[in-house]
Amino acid sequence: MHPQLYRSLYRIRRVEEEIARIYPTDRIKSPVHLSIGQEAVSVGVCAALAPEDVVFGTYRGHAMYLAKGGDLKQMLAELYGKATGCARGKGGSMHLIDPAAGVLGTSAVVGTTIANAVGYAYALRYRKSSALVANFFGDGATEEGVFAESLNFAVLKRLPVLFICENNRYAIHTRQDRRQGLPDICGRARAFGLPAECIEDNDVLRLYERVQAVAPAVRAGAGPYFFEVMTYRWREHVGPGHDFHLGFRNEDEVQPWVEADQVRRLAEMIDADTRARIEEDVEAEIAAAVAFAEESPWPEPAELYTDVFQEGPECPVPLPH
């Protein structure tokens, strides 16, 4: 398992670094919310999911999209605004999607996909599917009313949802304790009737084990399960750079997280050859994906007017008037 986890972690880290490297050239004219430092959350969860499982996330969705198997070429092309992007250039970094991989949506309005995930889970349950929905959101999202409403409904209907709160302690530049009267997200989840546990220290292996352990019951109809994963954002909220100079957080706050970096941790847990092969593969894949994005064409002007509606065949039923 470690090689798989390492591949996924390394791949996301390097894609994000590559985006940051390219960004100053202005070829990516899209806001980017990098997940550098937070890769372990998406990787730990998605590694324990089945291909038919579905994920919903946020504008900070690169890691989730890649960890769940979203197409890398299409993702980069999307950031470039090219016709070959996963959303044909119409969604950008904040609206990644890949239905084939079970990546069903990411939103730029905080909290919105929590309710969408719950509804999707209702449909799975209704269809007697054994698939589940994993829903990723930040600590700030838990302050939106939709979070409370969605948890209540998920418990009421015992829906197959894994709620994954990526607690990086900040909403943009504001600390959790300045936004939450009682900064205990698991406690709130439990008050709605959810089993909830907190994974400290961004631990990818522990998270992976725990998701594997609880998923079967969730699939079997035991109801939703809640994980709060403590993690940390190394870069600025949006953009390729750092934000320590802004003074809202102290640079040494990041140190323990860098020391516990899950990418390096997993690297050290696998043998050198495997590691070299993985990194070689990934670098080649990224280089190819960047080239693909660069060389892909822009959408045709006519594309502006497509995709507003899905228009099927004329209504089959006879019209008496």
Instruction: Give which of ligand TPP, another protein, its own copies, none residue 60 binds (C-beta under 5 to 8 Å, depending on kind).
Output: ligand TPP
Residues 170-209 binding ligand TPP (CB under 6 A) are 170-172
Count of positions on this chain that bind ligand TPP (CB under 6 A): 14
Give the shortest CB-150-to-its own copies separation in angstroms.
9
- Is 221 among the residues that bind its own copies (CB under 8 A)? no
Taking CB within 5 to 8 Å according to partner kind, which of Mg ion, ligand TPP, its own copies, none is near residue 17? none
**Residue 272 contact among another protein, Mg ion, its own copies, none, beta carbon within 5 to 8 Å by kind:** none
Whole-angstrom CA distances from 263 to 36, 75, 87, 99, 104 are: 10, 21, 29, 27, 26
- d(Cα 81, Cα 207) in Å, to the nearest integer? 34
If binding is defined by CB under 8 A, does position 3 make contact with its own copies? no
| Residue 263 CB, nearest approach to another protein (Å) | 23
Bridge-based pairing of strands 196-199 and 225-230 is: parallel
Pick the stretch among 66-74, 174-182, 245-253, 268-276 that binds its own copies (CB under 8 A): 174-182
| Angle of CA points 79, 239, 146, to nearest 5° | 85
DSSP string, 92-135: GGGG--BGGGTEEEEESSTTHHHHHHHHHHHHHHHTT----EEE
Least distance (Å) between residue 201 CB and its own copies: 24
Question: Which of ligand TPP, Mg ion, its own copies, none does residue 304 bind (CB under 5 to 8 Å by kind)?
Answer: none
Q: Is 315 left (phi over 0), alpha (psi -120 to 50) or beta?
A: beta
